[in-house]
């Protein structure tokens, strides 16, 4: 591919910023949810997190030291609009201006994610994504972000992982706001989210101070073929884009969340399976969802293997005994970064960014004062090798963002799990670059073609 690869790292506002009640910030649903007994490991909250709000210069210095060329971060909606709409909190705007300016000064391209799960509590009290007005609320927020920052920021992402903030927040209930809504409600919220995406894209294009690049960042568990036979490849592709047969598991899939946005239609199998739960889809709804995008982001951590059964239908293979896992028990499947981007590019035809990929390790500071995370280095090496092989084979892949720059508040798991390139001692806020950060630095310095890559 002719386009130069972007090598970056990612974070989100609630997971690292802290300053939960400082400088006029409003409440979001995670501020409230974390105070409900038994919801978060250890009763942890994001009140302080990594204190990035006060330590962003130090953290950007670390990014420069590693050599990353792009930083994906999210805006806290309630920090700049404490009520979710209405009066603007200029102190919140000022923080992001300082952050953006510091990134640019250090030669790091900012990638802004508008929404990474921290919904303003004031809007949640008005019905949140159930309320049809949520489409306009999000579009107005997107317009404000674009007006204030697009003079310096070129890359914007509307939503991060709707599968999670609707699916885990409103279907299974382990994330904020912790609800298990009826199926009708879940499909209505999904419909509003994708309409909000479309209306936001319109608002952003109109408000931009210069040409901007807009994308979308859902997530998926990748279906990879068990062999290179055409039958297994077709079976894996079919399984990857199929909607779950069980309506109760509808929220975790690719096509329900991406076909309307990328193709302007809901997937046929899902419409048939979920027909009784679907909202009234009005003329123009899908047209609004389907706005021209410049790139497609995908968060990919793992996958599973599929073969064609005797009847040609996809068969999911059981994992072998003793299969490799991360500290969170997630399977280690490097082939996910080959087949996921390939299938997505073939279906949607837009340049691909891996907007999140990484692993939790059992990290600790050793007696020598360092964090030796050899398993993370091996993980990155193998996953990136697969990604670059996909790129070599014709998938238009533009960038890779490691999740995460810093150890951080890992949602329902609190501070138990560590994904960062940088170790954070939460008691002192001391940062320690892990061995993986040094590996990534050498990888980037070598042109993103380290020794582990076999061309």
Question: What's the CA gap between 69 and 71, in Å, rounded?
Answer: 7
Q: Which two tokens stand for residue 159?
A: 């939503």
DSSP 247: G
* Cβ burial 251-286 (10 Å sphere, 16+ → b, else e): bbbbbbbbbbbbbeebbebbeebbeeebeeeeeebb
Residues 6+ apart with CB under 8 A from 301: 221, 330, 336, 356, 357, 358, 359
d(CA 455, CA 77): 43
Give the integer Cα–Cα distance in Å for 46 and 414: 8
Tokens of 178: 């912790």
Report which of 435, 434, 440, 429 is spatially closest to residue 402, judged by C-alpha positions: 440
- The answer to whether 167 touches 82, Cβ cutoff 8 Å, is no
C-alpha 212/C-alpha 200 separation (Å) is 13
How far apart (Å, rounded) are the C-alpha atoms in residues 343 and 260? 17
| Strand 352-357 versus strand 397-403 pairing type | parallel
* Residue 319 per-residue DSSP state: P
Q: So which residues are the catalytic ones?
A: 161, 356
* Euclidean distance between CA atoms 383 and 363, whole angstroms: 20
Q: How far is CA 332 from the centre of its chain?
A: 18
């Amino acid at each position: 591919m002719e386009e130069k690869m972007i090598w970056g790292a990612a974070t989100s506002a609630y997971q690292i910023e802290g300053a939960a009640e400082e400088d006029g910030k409003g409440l979001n649903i995670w501020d409230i949810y974390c105070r409900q007994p038994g919801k978060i490991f250890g009763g942890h909250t994001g009140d302080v997190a990594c204190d990035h709000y006060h330590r962003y210069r130090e953290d950007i210095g670390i990014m420069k030291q590693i050599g990353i060329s792009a930083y994906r971060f999210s805006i806290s909606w309630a920090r700049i609009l404490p009520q979710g709409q209405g009066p603007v909190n200029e102190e919140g705007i000022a923080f992001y201006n300082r952050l953006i300016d510091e990134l640019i000064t250090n030669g790091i391209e900012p990638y802004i994610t508008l929404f990474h799960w921290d919904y303003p509590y004031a809007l949640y009290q008005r019905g949140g994504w159930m309320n049809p007005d949520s489409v306009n609320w999000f579009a107005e927020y997107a317009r404000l972000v674009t007006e204030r920052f697009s003079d310096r920021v070129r890359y914007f992402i509307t939503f991060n992982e709707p599968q999670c903030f609707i699916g885990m927040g409103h279907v299974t209930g382990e994330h904020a706001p912790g609800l298990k809504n009826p199926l009708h409600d879940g499909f209505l919220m999904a419909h509003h989210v994708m309409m909000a995406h479309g209306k936001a894209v319109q608002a952003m294009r109109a408000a931009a101070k210069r040409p901007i690049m807009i994308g979308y960042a859902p997530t998926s568990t990748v279906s990879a073929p068990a062999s290179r036979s055409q039958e297994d490849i077709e079976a894996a592709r079919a399984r990857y884009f199929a909607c779950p047969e069980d309506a109760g598991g509808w929220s975790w899939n690719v096509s329900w969340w991406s076909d309307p946005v990328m193709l302007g239609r809901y997937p046929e199998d899902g419409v048939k399976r979920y027909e009784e739960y679907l909202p009234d889809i009005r003329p123009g709804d899908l047209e609004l969802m389907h706005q021209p995008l410049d790139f497609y982001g995908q968060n990919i951590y793992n996958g599973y293997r599929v073969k064609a059964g005797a009847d040609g239908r996809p068969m999911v293979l059981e994992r072998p005994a003793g299969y490799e896992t991360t500290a969170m028990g997630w399977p280690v499947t490097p082939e996910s970064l080959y087949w996921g981007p390939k299938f997505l590019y073939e279906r949607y035809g837009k340049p691909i960014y891996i907007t999140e990929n990484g692993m939790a390790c059992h990290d600790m500071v050793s007696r020598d004062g360092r964090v030796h995370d050899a398993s993370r280095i091996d993980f990155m090496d193998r996953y990136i090798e697969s990604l670059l092989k996909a790129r070599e084979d014709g998938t238009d892949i533009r960038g890779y963002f490691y999740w995460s720059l810093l150890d951080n508040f890992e949602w329902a798991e609190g501070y138990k799990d560590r994904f960062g390139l940088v170790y954070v001692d939460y008691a002192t806020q001391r940062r320690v670059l892990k061995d993986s950060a040094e590996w990534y630095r050498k990888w980037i310095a070598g042109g993103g073609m380290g020794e582990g890559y076999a061309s």
